[in-house]
Each structure stands twice: as C-alpha cells, then as structure tokens.
Amino acid sequence: MKAKSARYCAVLLLLAGPLFPAAAPAPAPATLPAAIELFTARRYPEARDALARLVAAEPDNAAAHHYLGRTLTVRHDLPAIEEGLRHLARAAELEPRNAVYLGIYGGASLQHAGRTNSLLAATRGREAMEKALALDPDYLDAREGLFQFYQRAPWPLGSSAKAAAQLEEIRRRDPDLATVLSVGVRLNARDYAGAFRLCDEVLARQPANYTALYHYGRCASISGQNLERGLACLQQCLTLEPPTPAAPSHSHVWYRIGVVQERRQQPEEARAAYRAALERDPHNRQASEALARLP
C-alpha cells in the first residue's frame, strides 16, 4: 500500500510539472539586419533593445553602434541624445572613412550644441561634417547640415560667406533643395510672398517634401498669411520623418502649429500644440515661453 501511494504521488508530481519552473530563456541574439529592420519600421524600443544586445556581444561592430546611436537620438530627450552621441562617435571611430557615419554623428552633435550651447559639440559636429564631405562631396545631408550651421551659428563659428558657398554646392546637385533652403533668406528680408512662392515651386514637384512643408508653415506662422494652408503643411510634416538631423524636429513642427493656432484665435489648440512640442523636447525654449505667455 505504501508503495502504491509513493507511485501515485510520483505520477501527480510529474503531471503537475516542476515545483520551481525554469527561468525564461534569454532573448535570442538579434541579427544586425533584423535590428535595422526594426529601426526602419520605427519600432524604436524593440530596435534599441536588439541593438544594445548586439553592441554588448560585439563591442567593435560599427554598424550596431551607429544604429543604436540613431535609435537613441530619435527620442530627443537630452540624456538619450548624449548616450546616442557616444555610440555614433564610436561608429565613426571604428570606421573613420564612412561618410554617412561621420555625417550622422556631425548632425547629432550640432543638434546637441543647439540645445546646450556647447562650443565643443558645435566644433565636433562641424568637423565631422567637413570630414564627411571630404570623403564624399556629393553627400547632401552633410552639406545641408553645414549650411544650417554656418547660417545660424554666432560669430566666429557662423559665416554667411561659408553658408552661401554650401548653398551653391547644393544648388549644383539638387536645385529643389537649394530653393527650399533659400526660403530663410526671403523670410529674413520679410519677402513673404517670395518665400511662399519658393516653397510652392518645390511642393508642386515634391508634395511630400518635409523641408518645404515645414518652411511653408513657418512662413505662415511668422507672416500671419495663408494660415489654413500653413497649418495643413505642418500637420503633413508630422506624418513624415525629418530627412536629416539638421532638419527641424517634430517638436519644432508642433511649436509652429501652436503659433499658427494662436494667429487663428484658437488658444486651446495652441496650448495643446505647445505641450506636444514640449513632450517631444522638454528643452524647446520657444514652446515653453509661448505656453507661459498664453492666458
């Protein structure tokens, strides 16, 4: 009888399974193509986890560092950007003749400099862009980044002559891009009709041109003209990804939407837009000041 009871208990234990279930298996190592596919599909949290595992397993994998850096900088919060910059710098260090790695690192450094007023980040960004162009003179993203840098940076870093030189090089390679980048010159001269016309020229050929859409909305927000069309252009921007690190971020787009909504006498919509801008970038000073100014 005792033997039967023992056998019966043993059968029950087998059916019930182990008293202490085995630990969940560790995630399978990600492959680089699969991780890049996650990044391309904008599944950023999954891409970040996969790429972090790859970097831990292969610390000298330049591509893994590059894409991990890009995945982190997409978040736009300062700690993520700074961590992302370390990975982007490591990728450029591992492959110093890769123009894209240098250009993306340079653009992210300039983005960081714009938010922190870091002279070191600005210098590093400019140098990385220049190295990228030395390797590939047709690398337009780097040329656009340098144009924006020279146009916006204060003296002695900024230079209108150097900005003009980059714009002419861009015009030789991509007239539409040069046209859009010229909008800022028209805005500075308060030639709003000319600025709208330049944007319209590009949008007639490229209806989803992110930069032209943004600058049309920006011109509307500054001038108070063509507000409905400007709002529609900015809203379309939010369905697209910024084409380069130097391009205005979605936080900037939301800020411009807020300004347009104020001009449309829609304070609640403006308030929501400024808050959306700050959710994407808590350091967006223009949005913060505009929100505080609203009654």
Q: What pLDDT is recorded for position 14?
A: 33
- Residue 156 reports pLDDT greater than 70: yes
Q: How far apart are CA 258 and CA 252, in angstroms?
A: 10
Range name among 60-74, 175-189, 230-244 with the lowest pLDDT average: 175-189
Is residue 58 within 8 Å of 64, Cβ to Cβ? yes
- Say how many C-beta atoms besides its own lie within 10 A of residue 28's C-beta: 9
Q: How far apart are CA 229 and CA 1, in angstroms?
A: 89
At residue 136 the predicted structure's pLDDT band, cuts being 50, 70 and 90, is very high
Reduced to 3 DSSP states, what percent helix, strand and coil does the chain have, rounded to the nearest 5? 75, 0, 25
pLDDT tens readout for residues 207-245 = 999 999 999 999 999 999 999 999 999 999 999 988 877
- Residue 181 reports pLDDT greater than 80: yes
At residue 247 the predicted structure's pLDDT band, cuts being 50, 70 and 90, is confident
Q: Which residues contact 143 (CB under 8 A, 6 or more apart)?
A: 133, 166, 169, 170, 173
- Residue 287 reports pLDDT greater than 50: yes
At residue 27 the predicted structure's pLDDT band, cuts being 50, 70 and 90, is low
Is residue 38 within 8 Å of 54, Cβ to Cβ? no
| Mean pLDDT, residues 157-180 taken together | 92
Give me 56's structure tokens. Answer: 């831990």
At residue 1 the predicted structure's pLDDT band, cuts being 50, 70 and 90, is very low
| Mean pLDDT, residues 106-116 taken together | 88
pLDDT tens readout for residues 69-110 = 999 998 777 889 999 999 999 999 999 999 999 999 999 999
Q: What percent of the chain has pLDDT over 70?
A: 90
Highest mean pLDDT among 13-17, 95-99, 111-115, 147-151: 95-99
Going by C-alpha positions, the residue among 246, 249, 241, 250 that lies closest to residue 143 is: 246
Q: Which residues contact 125 (CB under 8 A, 6 or more apart)?
A: 105, 106, 107, 108, 109, 110, 111, 112, 113, 145, 149
Domains and CATH numbers, the chain: 175-295 (1.25.40.10)
Going by C-alpha positions, the residue among 150, 158, 136, 156 that lies closest to residue 181 is: 150
